[in-house]
Copies of this chain bind each other. A is one copy, B any other.
Amino acid sequence: MKTPICDQYGIDFPLFAFSHCRDVVAAVTNAGGFGVLGGAAYTPEQLDQELSWIDEQVKGKPYGIDIIVPAKFEGKGEHLSGRQLADRIPDDYKTYIADLLAAHDIEPEENPRMGSAMLAGSSGEQLLEVAVTHPIRLMANALGVPPDYMIKSGKDHGIPVAALVGAKEHAIKQVAAGVDLIVAQGTEAGGHCGEVSTLVVVPEVIDAIDDAVPVLAAGGIVTGRQMAACVALGAAGAWTGSVWLTTEEAETAPHTVQKMLAATSRDTIRSTGRTGKPARQLVSDWTDAWRPNDSGHTTLPLPLQSMLAEPALRRVDKLANAGHPGALALATYFVGQGVGLMNKVKPARDVVFEFARDYLAAAERLSGTVDD
């Protein structure tokens, strides 16, 4: 099965798989889809190693990378060190978290370190410089309009640039900025997401940009029938993330996998409690603590909230993996509403093949309603 972008991207099936795990990226690419490595958390040296490993595995088959360079963040343009940014985190937020952990039988740290300012996107350019020394076939920015250096790098190296959008206004801006591929992402998506559902935002974006560039659908897509539905809407394919978190290859923590397998679609929430921007994740005592009406505690802007949250959530995850009940209640992870349909651990390759079979069945179901 083919949509017009299959030839362009050298794939058999227009299923794009975002993952932080190189094994998933390679497995999807080798199964005929398109793996996209989430590279934002690596140092340039680490990214180089990861991409070299992928190169060996996929032997010339196409894959891409995704980094996060937010258009707006606290301290932008001020050239602050992580230390200087950390100084902007108010003490009462630190106390609030210490109290929250204590209420879950997790002892306070004497001097909790604040997390990295990674979400300030300071390392995006260096990561990209490393990435283009590998045969990547796509570079994506997961948050807002790609920075100028990404657009330029894409043009210089002949590599398409993709951007995720949650509203038609953003899609129009991205196309004007020179993006080659739009990922129209619904509110049901895991991680940073907008308010509009996939079923609405995909046709809205397609109409708004008037076929200027292909549009992939994203948000809640964990089965081939949902992918087929989006192609019926006019999408050129699907961009997925959550579904790979419960594959055999994924490095998702075991307690997180268990939570995801048990979760229904109503067990996620769009919360600012982890990064400062609305991001969908598993409901937990952590996300409850940042509900605006319960806590009375507003969240901090990007990247301060993640500098505050990530070290605490890393401690939580470590304890949760050891079975600590309080930590298990607090633990959360980015995932979309499609988690309600993710009920079994499978190899990534099998997920791709199941997508294809389910896509075919859905296409037959729909065409069966219009045959004479």
Contact = CB atoms under 8 A, between A and B. Distances in A.
Interface of A: 1-3, 167-169, 186-188, 194-201, 203-204, 207, 219-221, 223, 225-226, 228-234, 264-266, 292-293, 337-338, 340-341, 359-360, 362-367, 369-370
User: Copies per complex?
Assistant: 2
Given A167-B266, A226-B203, A264-B167, A233 B362 contact: yes
A2 B366 CA distance: 10
Contacts of A3: 369
Contact of A207 (B2, B219, B293, B341): B341
A198 B195 contact: no
A338 B228 contact: no
B266 A196 contact: yes
A232 B223 contact: no
Nearest to A206: B225
Given A200-B220, A207-B341, A232-B363, 7 more contacts: A187-B187, A199-B220, A200-B337, A200-B338, A201-B265, A204-B264, A292-B292
Nearest to A224: B232
Contact of A226 (B186, B188, B199, B292): B199
Nearest to A198: B199
A194 B200 CA distance: 16
Nearest to A194: B266
Contacts of A220: 197, 199-200
B341 A203 contact: yes
Contacts of A341: 200, 203-204, 207
B363 A369 contact: yes
A202 B170 CA distance: 28
B187 A199 contact: no
